[in-house]
């Protein structure tokens, strides 16, 4: 910021002098040259000092990471090559040079790298892929050479037997060559990394293991992924229910939980949450307990925190009475149809504004599902369409509040097309023209709209009653909703 002010001031002075008739071109040229030289010297000094590289003695252990039992087991097996190098040599096993951790953001890839350093008692250097490439030619390649040089120095300095270099955002440094056609510095930097990894031999110095993390493994250059560079690829995926329970137990160790809290119930409601989401959830629950001035975190705080992490903070937005009734009808339509096609699937329905939503229905699956049948996808589409169709059934018109629902429905239809669940059968979707795709999509949605309308019309008294109750209470738990449905029925 200070540099921007100085540059702006200098430019202003030069402009003023030019208006007065002074020839400032020679002085300006000298200043520009001096600035470029100063910046280049500074960048070389950064290379020399190793700025941007984090060197730490990590306190993270594998026991501190929950929900990744398969990834931890696979990683520990690979790390045993560093711990038991003599035994590996006796069997003629070549040491691993690189391990790639891939998976969605927030799943614990960085934590696994830190735990790996402690597990092997290695010197640990951490750097981001975005810190290598700059506007000056050769800077990225020099930083790669300096990184490996510094790793060897740290092994000697800390009296370790090995080093681990962790490169986060690997897809920036290791992107496919030629993808940045206007900036060959990227390719030079990647080439230097490939050369350094090829040169990692035990007889040339202490063993160095390169660990990379990315959530876009498909963007990496194939030369990085071949055996002899990144020898192992460890998938760090979103945790299943048991994994979520383990993560919640870790993050609630230092938090006072009320006796009523059952972490399995919270894990059941958080399908699709990463470890980072779950950590945020427990932290938000503690904040809510602090607001309420209580000494324990209750189940209510945790359920409220789930909604906050998923949808955002409650808003002070005050819809008109007419809007509020329309929102109640819309959400009642979603909730009613969900209970009709997938009983006991609604966790909560509310007409309180959160984030960008005027109201919402929160669902949870009976079990964590990774495969979906055609019937399941059709049911999800029907639930998405039910809000707008409920508005049309009672009020005679639809509203813009269904835009997000339509987007979700179209995404699900696209999934059906790709999976061969349409009238086209198994086909190459990419070869369909816009008219063909639109025709099939329209037919699927029209059929599912009719089925949804039939269910809503048949249960119209229930829909009206739930709308009235929701308008009075604003929020209904899934259990209360089902109780009302049984009583009205």
* Range ranked top by mean pLDDT from 167-171, 278-282, 352-356, 421-425: 278-282
Is the pLDDT at 81 greater than 80? The verdict is no
Q: Place domain 54-235 in its CATH homologous superfamily.
A: P-loop containing nucleotide triphosphate hydrolases (3.40.50.300)
Domains 241-311 and 321-488 share a fold: no
- Least confident segment among 22-31, 356-365, 413-422, 456-465: 22-31
> Which position has the higher pLDDT, 375 or 485?
375
pLDDT score at 489: 57
Whether pLDDT at 49 is above 70: no
**How much is the mean pLDDT over the chain?**
82
In angstroms, the CA 291 to CA 300 distance is: 13
Confidence at residue 383, expressed as pLDDT on a 0 to 100 scale: 95
Confidence of residue 12 (pLDDT cuts 50, 70, 90): low
pLDDT of residue 25: 63
Question: What's the whole-model pTM score?
Answer: 0.73
Q: From the candidates 131, 196, 279, 331, give the one annotated as an active-site residue.
A: 331
Write the DSSP symbol of residue 438.
H
- pLDDT, one tens digit per residue, over 148-175 is 888 888 888 888 888 889 998 888 888 8
Give the bridge partners for 232, in sequence order: 99
- Pairwise CA distance, residues 370 & 342, whole Å: 17
* Pairing label, strands 360-363, 346-350: antiparallel
Q: In degrees rounded to 5, what are phi and psi of residue 343?
A: -55, 145
Cα 453 to the center of its chain, rounded Å: 36
pLDDT for position 451? 96
**Do 120 and 82 touch, CB atoms closer than 8 A?**
yes
The residue with greater pLDDT, 188 or 104, is 104
Give me 69's structure tokens.
């039992």
Beta strands (DSSP E) in 12-86 are 54-55
H or E element at residue 347: strand 346-350
- The conformation of residue 26, written as its DSSP 8-state character, comes to H
Task: Inform me whether the pLDDT recorded for 310 exceeds 90.
Answer: no
Residue with the bigger pLDDT between 148 and 31: it is 148
Asked whether the predicted pLDDT for residue 178 surpasses 50, the reply is: yes
Identify the CA nearest to 357 among candidates 313, 411, 409: 313
Q: How far apart are CA 117 and CA 208, in angstroms?
A: 11
Supply 370's token pair. Answer: 């990774």
In this prediction, residue 368 carries a pLDDT of 65
Q: In this prediction, what percent of the chain has a pLDDT beyond 90?
A: 30
DSSP characters over 148-180: HHHHHHHHHHTT-S-EEEEEESHHHHTBPTTSS
pLDDT exceeds 90 at position 448: yes
Do the beta carbons of residue 251 and residue 278 sit within 8 Å?
yes
Q: Report pLDDT for 196.
A: 84
pLDDT at position 189, please?
81
- Over 243-292, what HEC string results? HHHHHHHHHCCCCCECCCCCHHHHHHHCCCCCHHHHHHHHHHHHHHHHHC
Q: What is the pLDDT of residue 449?
A: 96
pLDDT of residue 175: 81
* pLDDT of 95 over the 80 cut: no
Stretch 388-402: mean pLDDT: 93
Higher pLDDT, 239 or 22: 239
How far apart, in whole angstroms, are the C-alpha atoms of residue 160 and residue 152?
10
Q: pLDDT band at 1, cuts 50/70/90?
A: very low
pLDDT digits (tens, 9 = 90+) for 212-238: 999 888 888 888 888 878 888 889 988
E runs forming strands in 10-97: 54-55
Query: Average pLDDT of 296-314?
Result: 87
Reported confidence tier of residue 44, pLDDT bands at 50, 70, 90: very low
C-alpha to C-alpha distance for 212 and 225, rounded to whole angstroms: 11
Q: Give me 208's structure tokens.
A: 């160095």
Residue 48 has pLDDT above 50, yes or no: no
Could you tell me which residue, 146 or 24, shows the higher pLDDT?
A: 146
414 belongs to the catalytic site: no
Architecture of the domain spanning 241-311 = Orthogonal Bundle (1.10)
Does CATH number 3.40.50.720 belong to domain 321-488?
A: no
Predicted confidence band of residue 83 (pLDDT cuts 50, 70, 90): confident
434-458 vs 403-418: helix crossing angle, rounded to 10: 120
Looking at residue 50, its pLDDT comes to 45
Strand order in the sheet with 475-477: 360-363, 346-350, 475-477
User: Residue 190: which region, alpha, beta or left (left: phi > 0; alpha: psi -120 to 50)?
Assistant: alpha
Find, among 357, 358, 350, the residue nearest to 473 by Cα: 350
- CA triple 162-167-168, angle to 5 deg: 140
Ramachandran angles phi, psi of 305, nearest 5°: -65, -35
How is the chain split into domains, by residue range?
2-49, 54-235, 241-311, 321-488
Asked if 307 and 363 touch (Cβ cutoff 8 Å), the reply is no
Cα separation of 310 and 26, whole Å?
59
pLDDT of residue 334 exceeding 70: yes
Check pLDDT > 70 for residue 27. Answer: no
Closest CA to 202 of 163, 235, 250: 163
pLDDT at 201: 57
């Amino acid at each position: 910021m200070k540099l921007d002010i100085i540059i702006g001031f200098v430019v202003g002075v030069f402009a003023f002098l030019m208006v007065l008739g002074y020839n400032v071109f020679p002085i300006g040229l000298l200043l520009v040259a001096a600035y470029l030289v100063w910046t280049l010297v500074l960048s070389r000094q950064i290379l020399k000092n190793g700025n941007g590289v984090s060197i730490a003695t990590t306190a993270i252990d594998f026991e501190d990471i929950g929900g990744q039992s398969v990834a931890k087991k696979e990683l520990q097996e690979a790390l045993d090559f560093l711990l038991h190098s003599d035994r590996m040599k006796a069997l003629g096993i070549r040491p691993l040079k690189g391990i790639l951790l891939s998976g969605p953001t927030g799943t614990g890839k960085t934590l696994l790298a830190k735990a790996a350093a402690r597990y092997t008692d290695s010197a640990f250097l951490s750097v981001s892929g975005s810190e290598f490439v700059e506007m000056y030619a050769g800077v990225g390649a020099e930083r790669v050479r300096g990184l490996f040089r510094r790793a060897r120095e740290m092994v000697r300095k800390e009296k370790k037997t090995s080093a681990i270099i962790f490169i986060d955002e690997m897809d920036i440094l290791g992107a496919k060559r030629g993808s940045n056609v206007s900036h060959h510095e990227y390719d030079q930097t990647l080439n230097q990394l490939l050369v350094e990894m090829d040169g990692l031999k035990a007889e040339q110095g202490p063993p160095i293991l390169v660990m990379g993390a990315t959530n876009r493994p498909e963007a990496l250059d194939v030369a990085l992924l071949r055996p002899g560079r990144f020898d192992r690829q460890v998938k760090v995926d979103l945790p299943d229910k048991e994994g979520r329970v383990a993560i919640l137990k870790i993050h609630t160790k230092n938090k006072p939980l009320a006796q009523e809290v059952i972490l399995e119930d919270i894990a059941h409601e958080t399908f699709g949450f990463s470890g980072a989401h779950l950590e945020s959830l427990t932290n938000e629950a503690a904040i809510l307990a602090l607001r309420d001035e209580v000494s324990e975190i209750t189940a209510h705080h945790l359920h409220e925190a789930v909604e906050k992490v998923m949808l955002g903070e409650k808003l002070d937005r005050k819809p008109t009475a007419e809007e509020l009734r329309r929102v109640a009808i819309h959400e009642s339509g979603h909730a009613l149809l969900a209970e009709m096609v997938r009983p006991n699937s609604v966790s909560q329905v509310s007409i309180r504004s959160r984030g960008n939503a005027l109201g919402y229905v929160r669902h949870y699956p009976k079990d964590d599902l990774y495969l979906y049948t055609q019937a399941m996808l059709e049911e999800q589409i029907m639930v998405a369409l039910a809000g707008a169709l409920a508005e049309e059934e009672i009020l005679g018109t639809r509203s813009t509040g269904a835009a997000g629902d339509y987007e979700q429905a179209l995404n699900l239809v696209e999934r059906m097309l790709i999976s061969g669940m349409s009238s086209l059968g198994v086909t190459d979707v990419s070869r369909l023209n816009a008219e063909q795709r639109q025709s099939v999509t329209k037919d699927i949605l029209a059929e599912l709209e009719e089925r949804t309308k039939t269910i809503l019309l048949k249960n119209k008294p229930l829909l009206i009653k739930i709308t009235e109750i929701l308008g009075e209470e604003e929020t209904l738990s899934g259990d209360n909703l089902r109780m009302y449905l049984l009583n009205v029925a």
